[in-house]
Amino acid sequence: MRRFWQTNYFFACLVVYKLWYNKNEKIVKFLKKGENMTNLHEIYKCTVCGNIVEVVHASAGELVCCGKPMHKMVAGETDGAAEKHVPVLEKMEGGYRVKVGSVPHPATEEHHIEWIEIICNTCNQVQRAYIKPGEPAQAEFKTCSDDVTAREYCNLHGLWQSKK
Ligand SMILES: [Fe+2]
């Protein structure tokens, strides 16, 4: 009687594992078939050209730019100083004022906050304010809920977020 590791099934498993280990695109797609490849509000960046997109409808496709899968940005994934990047939410009448960092962030052409966003976790509404170099990194938003997430994007240190 043949042992498991002497069967063709074992060798087939080995091949699939090796392809999976090497992140073979076709195998990964096949194994993830039916799963969403994206989720609502995720942010993706092209590592080649710098395009940034936000998911407004989640589906099974893989986001590709310049011929490569886009990088899913994760809040706080860089070595930027948290105190200069984590958004601070201040309650105001009918909404929130969002300031970037408990310590002011640089606002130069080379290093600045590009945008600030607030997401209402109740109704999924997204509001975004674009910030130019030289402008203070803060914005005011009207919202229908106290359950919100604030996010900001620094051109050098990427995505950061905080929740209320
Ligand atoms: Fe920064």
What pLDDT tens digit does each residue of the chain (164 aa) get?
777 777 877 777 767 677 666 666 666 666 666 566 999 999 999 999 999 999 999 999 999 999 999 999 999 999 999 999 999 999 999 999 999 999 999 999 999 999 999 999 999 999 999 999 999 999 999 998 999 999 999 999 999 999 98
Does the domain at 4-72 match CATH 3.40.50.10070? Answer given as: no
Phi, psi of 41, deg, nearest 5 = 75, 0
Domain-wise residue ranges, the chain = 4-72, 82-163
What is the rounded distance in angstroms from the CA atom of residue 38 to the CA atom of residue 75?
16
Distance set, CA 114 to CA 12, 23, 25, 155, 158 (Å): 49, 33, 33, 6, 10
- Residue 26, pLDDT score: 63
**CATH code of the domain occupying 82-163:** 2.60.40.730
Residue 8 CA from chain centroid, whole number? 42
- In the structure, ligand 1 is a single-atom ion and the residues with CB under 5 Å from it are 80, 154, 156-157
- Residue 144, pLDDT score: 84
Residues across the chain: 164
Residue 20 Cα to ligand 1 middle (Å): 36
Phi, psi of 18, deg, nearest 5 = -65, -40
